[in-house]
Amino acid sequence: MTVNLKPFDNQLTATKPSTRTSAIPGSRYIPVNYRRILCIFPKYTPSFGTFHHAYPLTGKVKAFMPPQGILVIAAYLPQEWDVRFVDENIKPATLRDYRWCDVVIVSGMHIQRSQINQINELAHIQGKITIVGGPSVSGCPEYYPDFDILSLGELGDATDKLIIYLDQNNQPPTQQIRFETQERLPLTEFPTPAYHCKRFVILW
């Protein structure tokens, strides 16, 4: 099921300047350029640890936990940008989603490694900037040599630098870039995960 929580103007371009004047609390940065961000949480590989075989016993359950981390990142991005979130445990991202965006952000665990790299390939076919963050890449960055940008560690100063980079660049880099958190954002400043934020299209 697709729930449109905010209409999107298909005529907007990646260079459209923002008309808003404030960023969300904690972002500390007001972007100059308009961006479309596609956040994707990959499908889990069936396993004992994800309780895959128990889903039929629960009715409509399709995944064993909500993707909290990438939803926090989605909420932290500047409100001047449009964001779509897709949980591929519910429904895969479509070609239309990839064509719509400027940047694809992925997060996941080791069990999702194959799917994470597949998303990277699909995004690169469409010429999009790709970013991977989360526990898998933070623990083993060598697993993801083909991503454009690695976001290592938790939400913090590296996230702010990443946002500035995306504002200033709209083409994939010539070599991989790493942003690693040195100063973690205090937990009291974390945004609420983007469950109900009206600026998101959530494909559930």
Domain membership flag for residue 24? no
CATH of the domain at 182: 3.40.50
Distances (CA, A) of 75 to 82, 100, 117, 143: 11, 19, 24, 27
Domain membership flag for residue 1? no
Domain membership flag for residue 63? yes
Return the amino acid letter for 125: I
Q: Which helix (H) or strand (E) holds 180?
A: strand 177-180
Domain membership flag for residue 73? yes
Cβ(73)–Cβ(24) below 8 Å? no
Domain membership flag for residue 107? yes
Count the domains in the chain: 1
Per residue of the chain (204 residues), give pLDDT as tens: 333 334 333 333 333 433 333 334 444 689 999 999 999 999 988 777 777 777 777 777 777 777 889 999 999 999 899 999 999 998 999 999 999 999 999 999 999 999 999 999 999 999 999 999 999 999 999 999 999 999 999 999 999 999 999 999 999 999 999 999 999 999 899 988 887 544 445 444
Phi (first) and psi of residue 141, to 5 degrees: -60, -25
Domain membership flag for residue 165? yes
